[in-house]
Every structure is written in structure tokens, then in C-alpha cells.
Structure 1
Amino acid sequence: MSLSVETFFLDPSAEGTLQARIQQMVAQGILTGRIRPGERLPSSRKMAAHLGVSRITVTLAYTELVADDYLTSRGRSGYFVSDNAPEPPAFPAQRANIGTVDWTRTIGQRFTPGLSMDKPADWADYRYQFIYGQTDKTLFDSANWRLCALRALGMRDFSALTSDYFDGDDPQLVDFIARQTLPRRGILANPDEILVTMGAQNALWLSAQVLLNSRRRAAIEDPCYPALRTILTQSRCQLSVVPVDQDGLPPENLPEDTDVVFTTPSHQCPTAATMPLDRRNALLEKAEAEDFIIVEDDYEFEMSFLKSPSPSLKSLDKNGRVIYVGSFSKSLFPGLRLGYLVGPAPFIREARALRATVLRHPPGHIQRTVSYYLSLGHYDALIRRMSKTYHERRQLLVGALDQHGLTIAGQGTYGGSSVWLKTPAGIDTKVLAETLRADSVLVEPGAPFFAGETPPTEYLRLAYSSIPSARIPEGINLIAKAIQNY
């Protein structure tokens, strides 16, 4: 039986090339049972004319489907659905009903509300995107990233692509981190002291699980990264919050019974404060005197375009008390979800064993792609390009804020990608943010970063990583007007 060409339509919402969309169209027809084994597809000429595409595009799509055994080619007779094509299920899928289970009683542990962070999926549709941590496609080196990904798919890297490392990591990536990335922060580490993670958040979770229990006390900064506070709350440890000042975490305010301190000394999250060298040394001395561990989240250290960055805590540590967390997600793109932990071998061994019980290891293809992107120099070129652009945007942002008399509560000593803004007393920035969305302005309220049931409401984090320079002054003008009209 020959299938009518009129029964084929390209899904307008589908993504990818025309060839990929045609392949998907035919494959879905087979998988849903609409197209059956032995049936003949329209000729490439008829299909091309019907879909309004070139004949070669249809031919290539058919050829790929033959390679995947969805179709078979029979000489001059055309293309037919293969007898070996995947079969649709013999029974229709049914939605399970709610049933009689009382899930409010059955759930043993609760993890909601989760991250407590509102990041709209359509952030790129806003004209004034003062949103933190997203990728600017005008800066990202997509061409070289694609080449590195294709290289990692080659037969030379077949083992790295397909192997189950069990609890290991791509040795090529670990070697580059050890010999190139860490020395820039003054850190020397052996391969058994490095663990690749699914981003910095995964690294923080592993650290909390290995180092803490219900009898131990963790100290965190206030305000801080909301997901870290959630991680520590779920670990059921005893938790102390320590307010930061203009220089970050004050060591003298740490509780005496502290077991683990989580800190962001280079760019305090979210105030962007930078911990001075004397305070870093004081924190390390206190850790040695009072026998506690420090987990250093060194995110955004690459974005130091104003001055050279201060030495990392890990580089100053002489007694093995610092666990170092790094990430490629901020400098490359957040969807990458790739970071690393650096610490003494006994700690890394336990973190590796824990990781293996959850996800074994990050995908080999991602690790090898990043390894190529780093080793071929593309990463350094990207950082230089980003730093130059961020510097320009920061100057425009700070100038516009000063022009409108808005108060910058924290902007970091060395750079970064955001500033911490304090609005006049009485303003709820959550309400302000909702108002600004109507003007296509996207900002990040500061309340979720604070601990407690009644956090301060007058703070905002304004990022300049994704907004074009030309739109910054007008965006700040709209924010200033909204504050005046609040």
C-alpha cells in the first residue's frame, strides 16, 4: 500500500534542520502506528514538492531512516517501512488515576519548595534582561563548541563517549583541571584530589552529605545562595546563619561549635563583596584553632576584569582544611551543569563513592567536549571576550544607577556579572519586579537570598551578563521610574 503524500505535515513547533524534522515526522508516524511495516512512502520528488523543500533534503532524511532501520530501499520501487522498524505498543496508553493512596502521609521526606528561586523560562523574550547567570548568545562561541562536540563524537574518542567510568571521570578533563585551571587559583592537586560534578550545586550537595550529620553544625553567610540553604536544611544538620558585611563573612562571628563553614570569598553571593586577604587568613587561622572545615565556592573567579583576583582560600590553606568548589556553568553556559570538587584524597574518595550511588559520573561526551574546548584555547578566548564586554556593561550600569541616585549596596572589588542594589525603605522588590515585567524589565528580588521568616524586602540583584549595552541606560531608567511610582 502506498501512503498518500497529503497525510504528511511538518510540525511547525519542531526544532532542528529540515532534514531532522522530516526524519522525526516519519519516525513518529511509525512509532504511533499510523504508518505500518511494508507500506510505501511517497517518492522523494513528491514529498519535496508537498513540503516545499529540496528533493535532496528528503532523500537525505530517507537515507538516515534506512540507516536506522525505520525504512528499507527497494531498488527503483522506492522506500518502504522496514519489517524491523520499532512497533507501537499493543495497547493504548492510559493515564493512571489518583487512586486511594494518601500521599500527604505516604511521603517520608519532603523536599519542596525546592530552590525557592523564580527564573522565568521566557527570560530571553524580555527587552531588559537584568537576570543572573544566563548565556548571552552574542558572546558565546557556538561554532568552536560545535566543532569540539563533533570531535568528541569521533572514533578516536569512542571510549570516552561510550564507556561507563563507574565512579571515575574523563582523565583528559581531570588532567587539564589539575595542570591548567587550578594553578591559576594557586592550587596544586593530584588527580585523586579532584572530582567532576554536575555543576557547583551538585558539588555543594556532595560536600554537605559527606561532612555533615544531625549532630554537626554548619555556618552559612546571610544573605547566601538559596539552594545552599535548602541543601543544608535537607541534610538535617544544625544550621547557623552569619550576616555578612562589606567584606563578606566576618570570621569572628562564627559560632564556637561550628564544624563546616560555607563561604563565597571572591564574589559573595549575592552581594558581590570580596573578602580581603587579612580576613581570609583570619578565617583559616580560626579554622585551624577551632578545628572546622571550610567549603569555598569560587564561582565567577574568571570574571576579574577590574583587578587580578585575590588568592583563593584553598591556595592559602596549609593544613588541608579547605574544600574547593569550581564550575564551568557560569563561564560557559548554565545548561552545561559541569563543575568540580577539590579536596584531600580521603574526602574526595567518599564524595566519589556517594556520587556513584546517585549518577555514577557526568556524561562522557560532555566531559570530553569541555576538555577539547579548554585545551584548544577556546575557553580562554571566550573569557577574554566576556570580560571586556562585562566591563563595558558594568560601567554603563553603575553610571546609570548613579545618575538616578540609586544605592549600590555591593558591586565587588574585581568584577563579576552583577551588582547588589538597595532600594528606598518600604519597597517590596518582589512587587516591584512584577510591576516591571509589564515594561519588559526582568530583575531579581533579593528576599529569597536571606534566611528567616521576615527577610528584608528592599534588595535587588541586577546582572549585566545577558543584556546588550545599548539597552542598559533605558532599562535602569524604567527601574528608577518604577521605584518613584511605587
Structure 2
Amino acid sequence: MAISVETFFLNPDAQGTLQAQIQEMIAAGILSGRFRAEEKLPSSRKLAAHLGVSRITVTLAYTELVANDYLTARGRSGFFVSGTAPVPPSFSPTEKGQETVDWAGTITRQFTGGDTPRKPKDWRSYRYPFIYGQADATLFDHANWRLCALRALGQKDFAAMTGDYFDQDDPLLIEYIARHTLPRRGIIARPEEILITLGAQNALWIVVQLLLQQGRKAAIEDPSYYTLRDQLGHTGCALDVIGVDSDGLPPEQIAADTDVIFTTPSHQSPTTATMPMARRKALLSRAKEIDAIVVEDDYEFEMSFRAPPSPALKSIDSDGRVIYLGSFSKSLFPGLRLGYLVGSEPFIRQARALRANVLRHPPGHIQRTVAYFLSLGHYDAQIRRMARVLQERRAVLEEAISSHGLIPANRSLYGGSSLWMQAPAHVDMGRAAEDLRANSVIIEPGAPFFSTETRRHNFYRLGYSSIASERIPQGVAHVAEAIRNARP
């Protein structure tokens, strides 16, 4: 039996080359059971004319499917579904009965809820996306990333791509971090003191699991990264929420019974405050005095386009009590999900074991691709390019907010990719954010960054990493209008 050419069509929104789309279309038909063994495919000429593509494209797709045993070629007779092609499983679905499990009582911990907000998936379709932490495709070095990825997929790197490191990491990436990335932050570390993670969020989770439980106390900044607060809530530990000022976390307010201190000294999240050196030393002194561990999230230090970043807190740590978190996810692209932990060897040993029990290790070919991107100089070039563009956008944004009388709650001395803003006390920026979407504007309400006890609704964040400079003034005008029109 011949398969009708009318059953084939190309999805206009599909990704990949035409050849790949045709291969996928035919393979999907076979795997779903629509195309059966020994059925004849339309001729390459007929299918090409029907799809509006070149005949060679169809021929190459057919040839690749023959090589993968989906099709078989028979002389002048044409192409047929192979008799040994994969077949869909044969089963008879049973009717679903009434569930009787009490999941509310069976699940021992609830991980839904919390303060972590969801950003709109279609944010790129908005005209004024003042969204934080998303990649701007115009700034990313696609060409060199692709070359590094192809190199990582090559035969020479077959072991790195396919091997099971168990609890280890790509030695090439570890070496680059140890010899180049960390020394720029004033940190000297051996490979045994470095662990690759699935981004900073995964690194924080590992730290929280190892250091905190019921009966222990953590000190966090307020406002702070909402996901950290959610993670700490699952441990049952006591939580001491400490308000930050223009210099970050005040060490004198840390209680004597604190076990772990979480801080973002280089670029406080979300206020963008930078902790001066005198306070960094005071923080370490207080931690030593009360025998607490300090977790330093070196958040966005790469985006210091106004002045060189201060040395990391860990660089002045003389007794190994600072655990350092770094990430490539923000500086490259969020979907990369690659970061690293640096700490004393006994801590990293346990962190490595915990990670191995959960996910073994981040994918080897991703680690090797990043290692090449770093070692060949592409990363540094991209950071310089991003810094120039962000500096330009920052200048346009500051001029726009000044002309409309908007109020920055803090101004980062070093740069970054966002501004922390404050509206009049009566304004609920959560409601304003909802109203602004009608004008194709996205902003980030500030309330989720604050703890429940200190929640402030009149703060918001304006990110400028993903909005073109020429669109900033009009976007800010919409924000200013929404704030003026806000009702108590």
C-alpha cells in the first residue's frame, strides 16, 4: 500500500532545516503507527513538489532515514517503510478508575507555593520588557558558541560527552575556573575545593541541605532572593531576617546564635548595593566571633562597567569559613544552568556526594562546551560587549527615570543589569505591573523579595538587559503614568 502524499505537511513554526523536518515528520509517522512496515513512500519528486522544497532535500532525508533503518530503498521501486523499523508499543489502555490515595496526607513536604514568582513565557513579545535575568539574543555570540559546541561533540571529546563522571566534573572546566575565573576575584582554590552545579540556585540548595536543619539558625538579607527564602523554609531552621542598608548586610545585627549567614556583598540582590571593604571585614570578624559559616553569592560581579568590582569576600577569608557561589547562567544565558561552589575540601566532598545522589553531575558535553567557550576567550569578549551595551542602556534608563520623576531606591556604584526602584508608599506595584501589561510593559514587583513580616508593595525592579535603548524612554513613560494613576 502506498502512503498518500497528502498526509505530509510541514509545520511553519518548526525548528531546524527542511531536511531535518522531513526526517522528523516521517519518523513520527512510523513511531505513531500511522505508517506501517512495507508501505511505500511517495517518490522524492512528488513529495518535493507537494511540500514546495527541492528534490535533493527530500532525497537526503530519505537517505538518512534508510541509514537509520526507518526506510529501505528498493532499486527503481522507491522507498518503503523498513520491516525492521521501530514500532509503537501494542497495549490496550484501561479505563482510569477513581483515585483513593490521600496525597495531601501521603506527601511529607509541600514544595508548591512560596514567594518565587513566574515570569511570562512570552516576555519577548512585549515591546517594553524591563525583565531581569533574561538573555538578549542580539548580545550573544551564537557563532562561536556553536563552534565550541561542535568541538565538544567531536570524536576527540567523546569521553567528555558520553562518559559518566559519577561525582566528578570536567577537568578542563575545573582547571579554567581554578586558574582564571577565581583568581580574578582574588580567590585561590584547588580542584578538590570546586564543584560544578546546575546554576546558583542548585548550589544554594546543596548548601542549605548540608548546613541547616531544625534547631539551627540562618541569617538572610531583607529584601533578598525569594528562592533562597523558600528553600530555607523547607529545612525547618530558624530564620533571622535582617534589613539591608545602602552598604548591604549590617554585621552588628547578626544574632550570636546564628549558624549560617547568607549574603550578596558584591551586588546585593535585589537592591544592587555593594558592601564596602570595611564592612566585609566586619562581617567576617562577626562570623568568626560567633563561629558561623558565611555563604557568599557573588551575584552579577561580571557586570561591573562603572568601576572594577571589589575583591570577593572569600578572598579575605583567612580561616575557610566562606562558601563561595558563582554562576555562568546570568552572564551567558539563563537556560545554561551552570554554576560552581568553592569551599573547604571537607565541605565540597560532602557537597559532591549529595549532588551525585541526586543528579550525578551536570551533562559532560555542556561542561566541555563552556570550557572551550571560556578558554578560547569568547566569554571575556562577550562580557566586554555586554558591559558596553548595558552601560549605554543604563545611561538612557537613568535619564528617563529622572525626567519622569521616578525614584531609584539605590544606585549601584559598579553597574549591573537592573535598577531597584521605589514608588510612593500608597502604590501597589503588583497591581501596577498587571495594568502595565496592557501597554506591553513588563516590570518586576518588589514584594516577593521581602519577608512576610516586612513586606513592602511599593518597590519594583527595572531590568535593562533585554530591552533595546530606543524603547526605554517610552517604556519608562508608561511606568510613570501607571504610578501616577495608582489609587490607594
TM-score (norm 1): 0.98
How many residues are aligned here? 486
Q: Which secondary structure does the structure 2 equivalent of 1:36 belong to?
A: coil
Q: Which secondary structure does the structure 2 equivalent of 1:73 belong to?
A: strand
Q: Which secondary structure does the structure 1 equivalent of 2:139 belong to?
A: coil
Q: Which secondary structure does the structure 1 equivalent of 2:76 belong to?
A: helix
Partner of 2:54: 54
- The answer to whether the Cα contact below 8 Å between 1:169 and 1:196 also exists between their aligned partners in 2 is yes
Structure 2 Cα separation of the partners of residues 20 and 168 of structure 1: 35
CA shift, 1:453, in A, is 5.0
Distance 1:69 1:259, change over 3 A: same
Partner of 2:239: 239
What are the superposed Cα offsets for residues 39-64 of structure 1, whole Å, 9 maximum, x if unpaired? 11111111110001111211222222
Structure 2 Cα separation of the partners of residues 196 and 473 of structure 1: 40
Distance 1:84 1:41, change over 3 A: same
What are the superposed Cα offsets for residues 313-356 of structure 1, whole Å, 9 maximum, x if unpaired? 01010110100000000000000000000000000000000000
Partner of 2:194: 194
- The answer to whether the Cα contact below 8 Å between 2:304 and 2:415 also exists between their aligned partners in 1 is yes
- The answer to whether the Cα contact below 8 Å between 1:411 and 1:418 also exists between their aligned partners in 2 is no
Partner of 1:477: 477
Q: What is the aligned-residue RMSD (CA, Å)?
A: 1.2
Structure 1 Cα separation of the partners of residues 14 and 93 of structure 2: 23
- The answer to whether the Cα contact below 8 Å between 1:206 and 1:354 also exists between their aligned partners in 2 is yes
Partner of 2:381: 381
Structure 1 Cα separation of the partners of residues 25 and 355 of structure 2: 38
Partner of 1:135: 135
CA shift, 1:430, in A, is 0.4
* Aligned amino acid, residue 295 of structure 1: V
Q: Would you say 1:402 and 2:430 are equivalent positions?
A: no
Q: Would you say 1:116 and 2:127 are equivalent positions?
A: no
Structure 2 Cα separation of the partners of residues 94 and 15 of structure 1: 35
Q: Name structure 1 gaps, 5 residues minimum.
A: none
- The answer to whether the Cα contact below 8 Å between 1:116 and 1:448 also exists between their aligned partners in 2 is yes
* Aligned amino acid, residue 219 of structure 1: A
Q: Name structure 2 gaps, 5 residues minimum.
A: none
What are the superposed Cα offsets for residues 126-159 of structure 1, whole Å, 9 maximum, x if unpaired? 0001000000001011111111111111000000
Q: Which secondary structure does the structure 1 equivalent of 2:138 belong to?
A: coil
Partner of 1:418: 418
Structure 2 Cα separation of the partners of residues 290 and 244 of structure 1: 20
CA shift, 1:92, in A, is 5.0
Partner of 1:33: 33
What are the superposed Cα offsets for residues 250-308 of structure 1, whole Å, 9 maximum, x if unpaired? 00001110010010001100000000110000001111111110000002111000001
Q: Which secondary structure does the structure 1 equivalent of 2:389 belong to?
A: helix
Structure 2 Cα separation of the partners of residues 127 and 449 of structure 1: 25
Partner of 1:393: 393
- The answer to whether the Cα contact below 8 Å between 2:323 and 2:341 also exists between their aligned partners in 1 is yes
Please say which of residues 82-91 and 272-281 is displaced more in the overlay: 82-91
Distance 1:95 1:126, change over 3 A: farther
- The answer to whether the Cα contact below 8 Å between 1:394 and 1:464 also exists between their aligned partners in 2 is yes
**Aligned runs of 1:218-233 on 2, under 5 Å?**
218-233=218-233
CA shift, 1:97, in A, is 4.9
Partner of 2:447: 447
Structure 1 Cα separation of the partners of residues 299 and 24 of structure 2: 40
Please say which of residues 279-288 and 57-66 is displaced more in the overlay: 57-66
- The answer to whether the Cα contact below 8 Å between 2:269 and 2:299 also exists between their aligned partners in 1 is no
What are the superposed Cα offsets for residues 193-213 of structure 1, whole Å, 9 maximum, x if unpaired? 000000000000001111112
Q: Would you say 1:349 and 2:311 are equivalent positions?
A: no
Q: Which secondary structure does the structure 2 equivalent of 1:302 belong to?
A: helix
Partner of 1:256: 256
**Aligned runs of 1:58-457 on 2, under 5 Å?**
58-91=58-91, 96-97=96-97, 99-114=99-114, 116-452=116-452, 455-457=455-457
Structure 1 Cα separation of the partners of residues 72 and 114 of structure 2: 49
Structure 1 Cα separation of the partners of residues 94 and 134 of structure 2: 38
What are the superposed Cα offsets for residues 6-36 of structure 1, whole Å, 9 maximum, x if unpaired? 1112233432221121111101100110101
